[in-house]
Every structure is written in structure tokens, then in C-alpha cells.
Amino acid sequence: MEKYSAFKLLKHSFSHHENWKRVWRSVSPKKSYDVVVVGGGGHGLATAYYLAKNHGIKNIAVLEKGFLGGGNTARNTTIIRSNYLWDEAAQLYELSLKLWEGLSRDLNYNVMFSQRGVLNLGHSLQDMRDIERRVNANRLNGIDGHVVFPDDIKKIAPLINISKDVRYPILGASYQPRGGTARHDAVAWGYARAADALGVDILQHTPVTGINCSEGKIKSVQTNYGEIFAKKVACVVAGNSGVLASMAGFKLPIESRPLQALVSEPLKPCLDTVVMSNAVHGYVSQSNKGDLVIGAGVDSYNGYGQRGSFHIIEHTLQAICELFPSFSRVQMNRQWGGVVDTTPDACPIIGLTPIKNLYMNCGWGTGGFKATPGSGYVFADTVANGTPHKLAAPFSIERFYTGALIDEHGAAGVAH
Ligand code: FAD
Ligand code: PYC
């Protein structure tokens, strides 16, 4: 690695990046691979990395239709926590949180994971009952968290309004100190660099336009480079999961919907934790640059437009201004949307499909960023062994036939 000095830093600042070493190789695709991962978001790249690192599979390609992390990975508000209600979900998200805790070291890349704590606010007696139930369930699973009340919340987030005289008074919250945020694009770049170093071919601007099967078994994918053959195909395409499934000739119980976020002008440090309120549909944290990062609720209609309805953002900002009256004077800089893949029980679908050697990992909906490392880890294991990893098994598509649903609507960051 190049040795750092003040001079080198200055030289690089004027270099327009010309002499910067590429973080991953630029490659042409081979004719065939052991595994083709479709989707170069955080989950797809993590899958490729763990396939190579943990399972010794090196002949892997990641095919991304746009640029790496240009989907929901770099469009989300980066909230990370593991405080889900049911054992199955809590254990999966907790595996992920544990991996986050060692991720910068594992990838040798700073993903800026910051454990600044997450507050989930309650505004009614029923909210508080649900919060207490969830915190108790978490503690039984060895997951940190406790119930806090308005005076404690004011200490954690001093600008918050704990007045009783508002539309949605704060009655309390769950607080998970190990939760926090990370730098989203660094997560994609860190996994990409580490996967590339293990020999994974990463191809950007390579959309998969068809999935070819023969006698119920995967054969190849169709791309702008022509047909690429694969022993196994692993689809991790978030909001486009239904489209990929229809290419393979089956349906998923998934609806794709726009979800929005926005950032403000940068401010001096004023919020040192993450505040979420599912009831009012507002989430806010402060980025390392100082911007307020604010998330909204899902649009009520299905769609593939990476934007969203104005009234949703308006509703969220009303809620944020009520929670933090001083933020009403802050100017917003940018707004955007992503397309999220929601399932009927607000839990992902991970595993095998009706096509042999075709695997799907989808349905993370509004809450999959936090799951990136855990999702990649269990999916890689599932693809490598051809059977679901034990933490992935409850999330198979069969649950929509058997009825063994895992209802996480209450713990999902965004109601849908
Ligand atoms: P993506 O990053 O979307 O990756 C999928 C990739 O597949 C894309 O890059 C896409 O271009 C590619 N692709 C699609 N079709 C094809 C094709 N045919 N061929 C090749 N490539 C294809 N989660 C949290 O945990 N915390 C949050 O705070 C949070 N906030 C959010 C806020 C917003 C506004 C949004 C939109 C989402 C939020 N989420 C949050 C959800 C989270 O972003 C997603 O669940 C997660 O990023 C999904 O990761 P992924 O890698 O599967 O998706
Ligand atoms: O899953 O924690 C979450 C979340 C927050 C905002 C969007 N999703």
C-alpha cells in the first residue's frame, strides 16, 4: 500500500484521480461461470464475496445492469439494527449486526459503521405495549435493547420535542445502543474490492434480459454480451425481483413500490443517534458530513419509478418538524426514491426456486440495508450447498404455501 504523507495527499487532491489504482478490475465476461450473481447491490456483492471467501468458489461473475450500488444500496437511509420481534428474523438480523461489527476489518475497507444507537418511538399505549413486547423478545434472544421514557429520550436526543401537547406525543421508545448507521456506497465498494481480490469478475452495465432453462434446470442468462452459461444463478435484484422471476417463468408474492428519502443542507453536529417513528413515518439521523438524512413512508401504489409522490414527503416533513421543531428552519437539498420489494409478511424470501440451481434472495423491502452482510453470508451458504442455511430456512418461499409466515410488520422500519 502507498505510504501516506501530507505531500502525497496534496498531490492526489490535484490529480483528478488520473493515477488512482482501480478498486476492482475491468473485465470481459467468460463464456461460463460456476455461479452468476445477478445484481451488483450490497447483497449481490456480499453474496459473491462470501461464496469466494467461505466456500472457495472462485469462478463467479456479478452482473449489474447499472453501476455498483446504484440501486437501493446507495438510496437508503442506512439505519442498522437487529431489534426484530420473531426469533427467526431477530437471529438473522443479529448475525448481520455481528458481521457489521467486524466488517471494516474483514474487508480492509472503512464502511464507516457507527454504533450511535437507534430509538424507535412510541406514541400510543398500544405502541408502548408492542415496544415492551419486542424489547423483551429481543433480550430473550441475547439482543441488546431497553425501553426508555421521554426524559431519557431527551438526554439521548436533546433537540427532540417531548411536549404532551402535540398530535403524536412521545410516550417512550425502544433503544438499541448497538444499532446505528454506515456509509452505504462504501459497503458496495468494500465488498466489490474484496470479492475482486478473490477473483470474482464484476461486470457493470450488464443487464440480464433473459433466463434460459433446460428440463427445469438453469442453463444460462441472456445479456448484452450474449449468452453467459452458469452452473448456478443467484438473483439479488431487490425491486426487480418480480421481473427476474417472470423471466424464469414463475411468480413471487412481491409488490414493488417507491420509497423516498431526502437530505438537508449540512449542519453542525446536533443529533448523535438515529430516531425512527413508524407511526408518523419519519426517520432522521445526521450524516458525518452534517446533513440530516430523512426517510419517508412507501407510496401506496406499485411502481418501478425511482421517485415518489410529493404528499408522502410532505407528510414526513410535517412529522419531523413536530418531533424536532428547530428543524423547520433547515433547507432540504436533495430528494430521491428507490424501488422496494415488499412481501405480505414484511420478511425476505431466501432460497431455492422451482428452477433447479436458480436461487432468489429478495423481499427485503424497506429494511434490507442493515441485513447486507448477513444476507450475503447465508445466501452464499445456501447457493454453495444447494440447501438453505439454517438461518435462511424459515424464509423459503414455501412459507406462503404452508402459512408459516413471520410477521414483522411491527418491526419493519416503514409500515406497508
Ligand atoms: P440494490 O442495491 O437495489 O441491488 C439490486 C441491484 O440489482 C441493483 O443495483 C439493480 O440495478 C440490479 N438489477 C436489477 N435488475 C437487474 C437485471 N435484470 N440485471 C442485472 N442487474 C439488475 N434498509 C435499511 O435496513 N435501513 C434503512 O434505513 C433503509 N432505508 C431505505 C430508504 C430508502 C429510500 C430505500 C429505497 C430503501 C431503504 N432501505 C433501508 C432498504 C434497502 O435499501 C434495501 O432493502 C437494500 O438496499 C436492498 O439491497 P440490494 O443489494 O438487494 O438492492
Ligand atoms: O429498516 O430500519 C429500517 C428502516 C428505516 C428507514 C427505512 N428502513
- Residue in this structure with the C-alpha cell 462504501, named with its chain if needed: 186
In this prediction, residue 20 carries a pLDDT of: 76
Q: Which atom of ligand 2 is nearest to the CA of 369?
A: 1
Task: Give 352-361 pLDDT, tens digit per residue.
Answer: 999 999 999 9
Q: Is the confidence at residue 77, as pLDDT, over 60? A: yes
Answer yes or no: is pLDDT of 2 > 70. Answer: no
Cα separation, 279 vs 327, whole angstroms:
19
Give the mean pLDDT of the chain. Answer: 95
Residue whose grid cell is 413471487: 252
Percent of the chain residues past pLDDT 90, beyond the cut: 90
Percent helix, strand, coil in the chain, to 5, is 35, 25, 40
Q: For residue 314, give every residue at least 6 positions away whose Cβ sits within 8 Å of its Cβ, in sequence order, or none.
A: none
Q: Residue 196 above 60 pLDDT?
A: yes
Residue of 283, 299, 320 with the most ligand 2 atoms within 8 Å of its CB, for mutation? 283
> In the numeric block, which cell numbers belong to residue 113?
459503521
- The Cα–Cα gap between 259 and 297 comes to 6
CA distances from 61 to 32, 111, 200, 231 (A): 9, 23, 6, 12
Maximum distance among all Cα pairs of the chain, rounded to whole angstroms: 66
Give dist(CA 301, CA 286) in Å, integer. Answer: 29
Closest CA to 391 of 28, 42, 97: 97
C-alpha radius of gyration, the chain, whole number: 21
Whether the CB of 295 sits within 6 Å of ligand 2: yes
pLDDT digits (tens, 9 = 90+) for 17-50: 777 788 899 999 999 999 999 999 999 999 999 9
Ligand nearest the Cα atom of residue 262: 1
| 301 CB neighbour count, 10 Å cutoff | 9
Residue 66 has a pLDDT of 97
Average pLDDT of the segment spanning 217-231: 98
* pLDDT score at 4: 59
- The count of other CB atoms within 10 Å of the CB of residue 116 is 17
